[in-house]
Structure 1
Amino acid sequence: MKFKFRTIDLCAGIGGIRKGFEMTGCYKNIMSAEIDMFARLTYEHLYGETPCYDLTSDMFKNALQKEKYEVLLAGFPCQTFSRAGKGEGFSNKTKGTIFWHIADIIKKTHPKGIFLENVDNLVRHDKGNTIRIIINTLERELNYKVIGVKIGDDGKPLYEGKDFIRNSRNFGVPQNRPRTYIMAFNRNKYSVKKLAALSNELPQGNKLNLYTDLNDLLEFKAPAEYYLSSGYFETLKKHRIREKGKGNGFGYKVVNAKGIEHPIANTIMATGGSGKERNLVYDPQPGIAGKLIPTKMTPLNSEGIRLMTPREWGKLQGFIGYAFKTGGKDNFSFPAGVSKCQQYKQFGNSVTIPVIKTLADFMTNCFRTLGEDL
């Protein structure tokens, strides 16, 4: 039986990072923290554990100091670093300070390795100042070797922001989803010579090919509830015309429109909103056009345009059709009572598991290079 490194799962969401690491067979999670009550329900349903801890609390930090673990995992909040947010960064007094709590946990518990995930805009936020603070904190204050960073003659970290960004579309799923990934190893645990032997570049992709393209992933002839009403679709059309007149590229998009040879989805988002409107699907079927359903103010549109379903979002993130698939059977499900709105949110807020699995394999190989028996 393989020895398993113990992990803690911070800002756990519905456990996408945890799942990617556990799929390697080399990691076993011992403690999780998540504050969203609906995400907690799904997490408990999937893993049989309730991540009912707040990582900012002294109680949680004190409990961690009594536990033995090797790898810290955290998909810390994106909102304050995202282009779609207010751009507050570390000035936000709640979400923007989560990184500092993670840094405090690292300082107090000294894990051998760290894996962090965030939006791609993290490396550009505040003209690069945000990522500079994060890298300096890890490298110079906490004494961790960050993959993708070199140390200059003056002792300062040297890096390119793009070296931390990887895109889900290169990891076996048809979704254009660039994200920032930070991996680091404890210099107090490993020699300079061994750390110098590590590859200093995260994997650019993998050979996994779950779907040929988006049309291979979509489940056509979806239920009527997912089709846009004619009134709402007209509103989207007018909005796109207005934005185009302003010289903007904003507006809805039919991602598998005729003429697109190998369609891929745009980034799905935790807020739903534009994540849905930028991922409309052409899926005509008899009996849809003009149909009246109770939840919509106007009849369904006549062009066969619908939203993607939560299941399709789950497939884009690798929860459905990949991570929970055993013996040819897909075992992913939500617990009873989790609304479709929450399902969209939870998938959009999570990670693409095939990306995480690839990076976890890379991290495992790094630990082997460092002399660990994994």
Structure 2
Amino acid sequence: MKKISTCASFFAGVGGIDLGFESTGRFKTIYANEYDPSPVTTFRQNFKDANIECKDIKDVEPDDFQNVDVMMAGFPCQAFSIAGYRKGFEDEKGRGTLFFEFLRLVKAKNPRVVFLENVKNLISHNGGNTFRVIREALEDAGYKVIYRVMNAMEYGNTPQNRERIYILGFRFEADYRNFKFPDPIPLTRKITDIIDFQHPVAEKYYYTPGKYKGDIYERLNDEMDDPDTVYQWRRVYVRKNQSNVVPTLTANMGEGGHNVPLVRVPSGIRKLTPKECFNAQGFPNDFCLPEGLKDSKLYKQAGNSVCEAVIERIAEKIAYALDENVASRIVCPSCDKEIELESTNTICYCPFCGHRIQE
């Protein structure tokens, strides 16, 4: 039986990254941290065994959780997103610098793998300088870094146009060498697999004359002429998705109808339900959305989350890389840290405490 690797999750949201890792059967989240109490409610309902703390990551101390094999973070992307203000590290709300709070904990715990997810624009923000700082900070902490921009509809067989950058740091050279990102796969799932075009839903999801300020309904009624695709109201105009997939979900979908994907169905013009938005992220049908939470909260949770299917495919490759490197590792008898043995020498020194090890 292969080892189950332990994980600690930060900026955990509803647990999309955790779900992708756990779906492989090779990883288990034992600790999670999230600042917003709304997604914490959803996380707790779906991860009964994980200890999730609802507090600012700045208040998390290394002793708050045990050593783990993997530390992962979908750190806040608003400061880098094309859809946001793109202020990066200078974001007035401090969201751009929260990566360094995560790095503080990584340096203290020295996990075998670091996993990060963020918006595609991170790689080009500020002329590439923001990403360079992040990559070099991980390298300075002792990690070999590899990254790739991946689209959910190309790598997750999920009909959503969602490009994200995935960054991995490996503490061991052999793990790094053994890891390969998954290849693209055909998109066989259709929007009809995740959106119910046939049956009526609750009245609150429909657009009707006079429901919203201005002539939004009239504009939608005039321009939404294709019942087999997804549209989006973008502040002042209607956008049709030409790829016949769901457009990129955003965190502000629940704010006055802006950015919510829309469909024309026999019963009228309506927005996607929160459940359908989670479907568009590749979440399984049995993923629970807590009763009593406002739709605006659920839309935000879905938009802030990740494509679960892409995460799962990456996690499978991580598990394979770790399996391949079993023979070249040992636990230091002095400090109990796991280290990599030199393949050409039976004597090495622990990089953490300097203890001389001879096999």
User: Normalised by the shorter chain, which TM-score bucket?
Assistant: 0.7 to 0.9
Amino acid at match of 2:106: I
Question: Equivalences for 1:261-300 in 2 at 5 Å?
Answer: 263-272=244-253, 273=255, 277=259, 279-285=261-267
Which residue does 1:363 correspond to in 2? 318
For residue 254 of structure 1, report the CA deviation from its aligned partner. 4.5
Does the Cα contact within 8 Å between 2:62 and 2:105 map onto a contact in 1?
yes
- Between 1:275-284 and 1:357-366, the stretch displaced more is 275-284
Counterpart mapping for 1:1-374 below 5 A = 1-48=1-48, 49=50, 51-54=52-55, 56-64=57-65, 67-92=66-91, 94-139=94-139, 141-148=140-147, 164-170=148-154, 171-186=156-171, 190=172, 192=173, 194=174, 197-199=177-179, 201-206=180-185, 209=188, 211=189, 213-220=190-197, 221-223=199-201, 224-231=203-210, 232=212, 234-235=215-216, 251-255=237-241, 263-272=244-253, 273=255, 277=259, 279-285=261-267, 304-319=268-283, 322=284, 330-371=285-326
Taking a change above 3 Å as real, the CA distance of residues 359 and 195 of structure 1, as seen in their structure-2 partners, is closer
The code of the aligned residue for 1:73 comes to M
What one-letter code is carried by the residue in structure 1 that aligns with 2:126? D
* Alignment-mate amino acid for residue 36 of structure 1: D
Alpha carbons 1:254, 1:282 under 8 Å: kept: no
Q: Deviations over 1:274-298 (max 9, x none)?
A: 985462111123xxxxxxxxxxxxx
d(CA) in 1 for partners of 2:70, 2:294: 33
Provide the C-alpha distance between the structure 2 equivalents of 1:195 and 1:363, rounded to a whole number of angstroms: 8
In structure 1, the residue matched to 2:357 is none
Cα 1:345/1:172, change in 2 over 3 Å: same
| Secondary structure of the corresponding residue to residue 51 of structure 1 | strand
Contact 2:15 2:43 in 1 (8 A): yes
Give the 3 Å change call, closer, same or farther, for CA 172–146 of structure 1 in structure 2. Answer: same
Report the AA paired with residue 287 of structure 2.
Answer: F
The one-letter code sitting in structure 2 at the alignment partner of 1:265 is V
- The Cα shift of 1:32 comes to 0.6
Shift of 1:53: 4.2
1:251 partner letter: Y
Aligned with 1:357: secondary structure?
helix
Percent of pairs identical after alignment?
33
- TM-score, with structure 1 as normaliser: 0.75
Aligned CA-pair RMSD: 2.8
1:263 partner SS: coil
Partner of 2:166, secondary structure, is strand
1:99 aligned counterpart, secondary structure: helix
Unmatched 5+ residue regions in structure 2?
223-233, 329-359
1:102 CA drift (Å): 1.0
State the 1:228 CA deviation.
1.1
The SS at the match of 1:62 is helix
2:208–2:217 CA contact under 8 A, matched in 1: no
Amino acid aligned to 2:274: P
CA-CA distance at 1:309 after TM superposition = 1.2
Structure number with higher strand proportion? 2
- AA of the residue aligned to 2:80: F
What is the total number of aligned residue pairs between the two structures?
A: 309
Give the superposition deviation at 1:335.
1.9
How far does the alpha carbon of each residue in 1:110-163 deviate from its partner, in whole angstroms, 9 at most, with x for none? 000011001111111111111111111112x11211124xxxxxxxxxxxxxxx
Secondary structure in 1 matching 2:102: helix
Match of 1:216, as an amino acid? D
Q: Distance in 1 between matches of 2:238 and 2:80?
A: 24
In 2, the alpha carbon distance for the partners of 1:349 and 1:312 equals 15
